[in-house]
Amino acid sequence: MTYGCRFLIGMVAAAAMTGAASLAHAQASASQSTTSTVTIFRPITLTKNSDLSFGTIVRPMAGSGTVTISEVDGSRSLSGSGALLSTGPNAPAGRATYTVGGEGGQTFSISVPANFNMTRSGGSETITVLLTPTATTGTLSNALGSAGTASFGVGGQIPISDGTASGAYSGAFTATVAYN
């Protein structure tokens, strides 16, 4: 093999290696255009329209009973012993009601504690209130891009007995709403 032939073979080999390296470099990267999006909601708000009130109740002379405030319509009922009065310091009885505001068409969650205690004014006696909301989720009226509203209520249930101390009881609970 002559010098010229070896030179030519060397040049072909070098060209092949340079081409392979160039192809390998071209395949090691790629690019793609990507779009970014965002949807902005107005803040969610919660307004209390009315408090939960069990009204005025006469405890039973013997035995026990349960007073219930409907979460749907605020009506009051008594099972067992005792009496419901339509007048008195906490009349009328009724459910707690709320208005939710925010971005139209969006769903939200509702949370209230399962129960809380009311304490007798001037004493340490308590009554446990079991809470029931009308729903655990809701949808705001209207469509995305406009303000929406929704409402819900919270009712409850308390026990009374011949051992329940007389007096005014009060306590507080927190209702919370959040976008889903």
CATH of the domain at 84: 2.60.40
**How many Å apart are CA 172 and CA 116, to the nearest integer?**
7
pTM: 0.81
Domain membership flag for residue 144? yes
Domain membership flag for residue 13? no
Residue 155 reports pLDDT greater than 70: yes
> What 3-state class would DSSP assign to 28?
coil
Which domain range does residue 153 map to? 45-179
**How many Å apart are CA 76 and CA 95, to the nearest integer?**
9
Are residues 116 and 171 in contact, defined by beta-carbon separation less than 8 angstroms?
A: yes
Least confident of 32-41, 78-87, 98-107, 151-160: 78-87
- Our count of domains for the chain comes to 1
Phi, psi of 133 (to 5 degrees): -85, 160
pLDDT-based confidence at residue 89 (cuts at 50, 70, 90): confident
The chain-wide mean pLDDT, for the chain, equals 91
pLDDT-based confidence at residue 8 (cuts at 50, 70, 90): low
Q: What is the pLDDT of residue 90?
A: 77
Q: What is the pLDDT of residue 91?
A: 77
**How many Å apart are CA 16 and CA 26, to the nearest integer?**
15
